[in-house]
Amino acid sequence: MLRPKLPDTPHVPSITTHIPQDHAPAPSASRSVAPFVGVGAGAVAAVVVVGVVLTALLAAVAVSAVSVAIAAVVLRSLITGANRR
């Protein structure tokens, strides 16, 4: 009584794809991806090199700042000690 009526499913014929043997492949299929891989590897290498250089510069600045701070503390103690004598 309250059953829905489902539509009849049409018969779908089977589709067979045939690729002729004398047909050349598409131009995009014959292109190599090697140049794109080379560009990607070069970009990654450049980013790594820039990161290493920037890290080395930051480390050099930090070492210089620490050495200047130590020198300032030593000079201050020498000047303070000379004024007391």
Q: How confident is the model at residue 49 (pLDDT cuts 50, 70, 90)?
A: very high
User: What is the pTM for the complete model shown?
Assistant: 0.48
Contacts by residues 71-77 (CB-CB < 8 Å, ≥ 24 positions apart): none
Residues in the chain: 85
Stretch 52-69: mean pLDDT, rounded?
97
What Rg value do the Cα atoms of the chain yield, rounded?
38
Q: For residues 75 and 63, give the distance between their C-alpha atoms in angstroms, rounded to a whole number.
A: 18
Residue 4's pLDDT is what? 74
Residue 71's pLDDT is what? 96
Structure tokens at 60: 């050099």
